[in-house]
Amino acid sequence: MLDLSGREAVVTGGTGALGSAVVGRLVLAGAIVHVPIFAPRELDGFPYRGHDSVKLHEGLDLSIEADVARLFDATTSLYASIHLAGGFAMGPISTTSLDVWEHLMRINATTCFLSCREAVKTMQGREGRIVNVAARPVIVPAGQMTAYSASKAAVAALTLSLAEELSSSSIWVNAIVPSIIDTPANRAAMPDANYDAWPKPDEIAETIAFLASPENAVTRGALVPVYGKS
């Protein structure tokens, strides 16, 4: 059984469907969880708003260095840093604007880089765990996702490089690789899809929680598929 009693974790993107599942799993394991909030509407329906073990940090933009530093400075003994914040867009490259490209790079790659950097600085050589989120198109190419795939490929490369950089420390860095996740938003966007094949947020949260826990004694530098039958 995972035990994170008394350990601190940061979960970016913690109010989303997957983020809420991860926050809940970490709280169940005894962790104190810090969740950054960009806009107040993110808290609408967030089940852990007001929970004693969940610390909310409002008004933070994770693509801004000073804001990310403020988030990690609010921790006292960070153990796990889980970076779920990001976004998605697709379309043929001929109609993909530079604005879309730069937006995806910023919200996927830049936020991950800054969060990883501040997590490593905050852990200061102590034992710790970092978990990022790549995407299936990085491993299994998909059409009309050039900008999105490139931004997530940057996350994957960052993960592998950082894991090697920290190989002599006790900070393990890994990334999960999801496909389409079974969320209300994705069901609404694809009403004719086979939802049974999509991985569920709670299922993915179990993998993330393991990678972010002391029970993960040896796994580092891995891109872990979490797409099941999809």
CA distance 167 to 132: 17
Domains and CATH numbers, the chain: 8-225 (3.40.50.720)
User: What value does the mean pLDDT take over residues 125-149?
Assistant: 95
3-state secondary structure of 162: helix
Sign of CA dihedral 187, 48, 35, 27: negative
230 confidence band (pLDDT: 50, 70, 90):
confident
Strand partners, 174: 131
**Contact between residue 142 and residue 188 where contact means Cβ atoms under 8 Å apart:** no
CB atoms within 10 A of CB 39: 11
Residues in CB range of 222: below 8 A, 6 or more apart: 163, 174, 175
- The reported pLDDT for the residue numbered 125 is 81
Rounded (5°) CA angle 191-194-197: 135
Distance CA 168, CA 217 (A): 14
* pLDDT tens for each residue of 91-129: 999 999 999 999 999 999 999 999 999 999 999 989 999
Q: Which residue has the higher pLDDT, 197 or 115?
A: 115
Structure confidence at residue 34 (pLDDT): 98
For the chain, what is the mean pLDDT? 96
pTM given for the model: 0.97
Q: Which residue has the tokens 């104190």?
A: 32
- 52-93 pLDDT tens trace: 999 999 999 999 999 999 999 999 999 999 999 999 999 999
Name the residue among 114, 31, 123 with its Cα closest to residue 77: 123
Q: What is the pLDDT of residues 13-51, one digit of tens each?
A: 999 999 999 999 999 999 999 999 999 999 999 999 999
> Which pLDDT score, from 0 to 100, does residue 229 have?
86
